[in-house]
Amino acid sequence: GMVDWTNEAGAAFWHDLVRQPLIEAGVFGHWTDLGEPEMVAPNSWYAGLPGLELHDQLANNNIYNLLWAKSIFLGYQRNGVTQRPVILSRSGTTGIQRYGAAMWSADIGSNFDSLAAHMNAQMHMSLSGLDYFGTDVVGFHRGNISQADLDELYTVWLANSALLDVPVRPHTENLCNCKETAPDRVGDLASNLANVRLRYALSPYYYSLAHLAAQTGAPVVPPLFFYYQDDPQTRDLGDHKLLGHDMLVRTVTEAGITAVPVYLPAGQWVNFHTGEWIDSSGQWLDDVPTTQDGLFQLPIFVRAGAIVPQMFVDEQTMNMYGLRRDGSTRGELIVYVVPAPEPTSFTLFEDDGRSTAYQSGELQTTQISQRWLDGQIAVEIAAAEGSYDGAPTSRDNVLKLAVGDAGATAVSVNSTDLAKLDSMEAWDTAVSGYILTNGELWAKSGPLPVTEPKQFVVTLDQPGEEAAEVEVVEVESTAVPTQTPAVSETTPSEPAPNRTLLFIGLAIALVLLVGGWLYIQQRRSQM
């Protein structure tokens, strides 16, 4: 039989009898599959919504998974469980996100048409208020697809999902236990690795966008036209998506694509992969490559004024808390900035990534701002406000500034000049300093207290058009360190959130599960 989730007493009974013991054993992921419900029984009888007197199955289909998710949400509250649940639902209706549920595009086929349909559905989900929407990476029903076609499809699909899906979840029909699904087993492995690492690197940005979505309703992954409604060119571009407000991603949903046209609304943009600046009047770029240094990656352009917090990721990274294989952590705050004459700001949100304590104020926010005047660019990381269990007390601050062909004559942090470094090896070993690389200026402060403001000032050797100089903020703070510090044991933020309070952290937890599983698969492959 089927559990009648429209019967609140019955739903609560089932939760406490079956689900609560699993929760107490450490289970926090709840996969509400087949919840259309898939099995249709003409003689089914449901309690239904109060006052409607609608008891047949067809009258209750659309609300079935909504109320299933609600029963989990209320069960956690009723039993005082502070761990955020992961709820992954195959179906639902308006408002399911209020219970922290993510959805996916169900059991679709392994082909490019299905990928294109999924990406179009994601647009409509975003416009409907549902930010957590993902897919079975490479599709559920593989059929008789050849290995070569599967490899190409997997590579392209994962590149899309790594940037645009929440959560990112490789999965397929595998009753034979004979089909590979992990990104280190299928497709172009180097491209898969690069795209997964990019998702990890951007996790503080996604997490902050999700907090913002929970507070304001601003979408995490909107279509391009959402923020450019006065530009008629954007109204037919379902394959152009945004991450937040300022990162433009061009999807690829066809086979054999090596370059795509990309439309840039009016303004200045930077190619995220190459560092090239483009001054657009609202125009198309023809033949934008889909490969970078031999790796398949979707075209990404970042608007001038963008501020994108990131985390450090390399081959030793184990999870989105910065844990490394040797047990140490990397907790620096990396801030990617595309400067603009118009002052802009972005708020970094951080919490423990696991519990609902943020609802009671255990939350840390950091305002990051930029301004570009007369050849000087100032990026300020304000003093953090609030705190949470495990919050860092100090950390390194790394600025990655898109400068194009410009050089720099001076870089300072809190009025202390930084040394110019002449190689990436020197960058890796220095506590503080700056270096120019691939159209970007990288500068790092060394560990400084999070409760004190930090201001980077970069003087370019190609002045801007404004007439005034940047006002250097007077900051009373710890001096910029010049000695090698001990290994930091801070806990940086994790990714994933949405526009309902409990929704924040849902995808993060699931992505962590997937990340851990992928690592296990990688370790198995090395045995």
**pLDDT tens digits for 232-246?**
999 999 999 999 999
pLDDT computed for residue 41 by the predictor: 82
Report the distance separating Cα 216 and Cα 357, nearest Å: 19
**212-232 pLDDT, tens digit each:** 999 999 999 999 999 999 999
Q: Where in the chain is the domain with CATH 3.20.20.80?
A: 8-218+500-526
Structure tokens that stand for 400 in this block: 């990655």
pTM of the predicted model, to two decimals?
0.88
Angle at 452 between CA 448 and CA 457, to 5 degrees: 75
Report the distance separating Cα 41 and Cα 204, nearest Å: 46
331-460 under CATH 3.40.50.300, yes or no:
no
Cβ neighbors of 252 (< 8 A, separation 6 or more) are 156, 159, 160, 260, 290, 298
Asked if residues 366 and 382 have their Cβ atoms less than 8 Å apart, the reply is: yes
pLDDT exceeds cutoff 70 at 477: no
**Percent above pLDDT 70 for the chain:** 87
Residues in the chain: 527
pLDDT computed for residue 159 by the predictor: 99
Residue 511's nearest CA partner among 180, 206, 236 is: 206
Q: Where in the chain is the domain with CATH 2.60.40.1180?
A: 331-460
Query: Side chain identity at 206, as an amino acid letter?
Result: Y
- The rounded mean pLDDT for the chain is 89
pLDDT computed for residue 103 by the predictor: 97
Averaged pLDDT, 505-518: 41
pLDDT computed for residue 69 by the predictor: 98
**397-424 pLDDT, tens digit each:** 999 999 999 999 999 999 999 999 999 9
pLDDT exceeds cutoff 60 at 502: no
| Residue 203, SS3 per DSSP | helix
pLDDT computed for residue 481 by the predictor: 54
pLDDT exceeds cutoff 80 at 516: no
DSSP strand pairing (240-243 vs 247-250):
antiparallel
pLDDT computed for residue 482 by the predictor: 44
> For residue 38, what pLDDT band results from cuts at 50, 70 and 90?
confident
Within the chain, what is the greatest distance between any pair of CA atoms?
79
Report the distance separating Cα 365 and Cα 182, nearest Å: 35
* Element at 273 (helix H, strand E): none
pLDDT computed for residue 39 by the predictor: 82
pLDDT computed for residue 40 by the predictor: 79
Structure tokens that stand for 156 in this block: 């392209």
Report the distance separating Cα 484 and Cα 81, nearest Å: 42
| Distant-in-sequence contacts of 179-184, Cβ < 8 A, 24+ apart | 179/142, 181/137, 181/138, 182/517, 182/518, 182/521, 182/522, 183/154, 183/158, 183/518, 184/518, 184/521, 184/522, 184/525
pLDDT computed for residue 345 by the predictor: 99
> For residue 480, what pLDDT band results from cuts at 50, 70 and 90?
low
* Element at 260 (helix H, strand E): strand 259-264
Q: What is the DSSP letter of 94?
A: T
pLDDT exceeds cutoff 50 at 515: no
pLDDT computed for residue 399 by the predictor: 99
pLDDT exceeds cutoff 70 at 497: no
pLDDT computed for residue 32 by the predictor: 95
Minimum mean pLDDT among 186-200, 241-255, 306-320, 450-464: which range? 450-464
Cβ neighbors of 27 (< 8 A, separation 6 or more) are none
449: which strand partners? 394
**144-174 pLDDT, tens digit each:** 999 999 999 999 999 999 999 999 999 999 9
Give the relative orientation of helices 189-201 and 147-164 as an angle to the nearest 10 degrees.
10
pLDDT exceeds cutoff 90 at 463: no
Report the distance separating Cα 285 and Cα 165, nearest Å: 25
DSSP tally for the chain: helices H, then strands E: 9, 28
Report the distance separating Cα 63 and Cα 510, nearest Å: 24
**Percent above pLDDT 90 for the chain:** 83
Report the distance separating Cα 306 and Cα 303, nearest Å: 6
pLDDT computed for residue 338 by the predictor: 99
> For residue 309, what pLDDT band results from cuts at 50, 70 and 90?
very high
End-to-end CA distance of the chain, in Å? 44
Asked if residues 68 and 93 have their Cβ atoms less than 8 Å apart, the reply is: no
Where does 8-218+500-526 sit in CATH, by number?
3.20.20.80
pLDDT computed for residue 91 by the predictor: 93
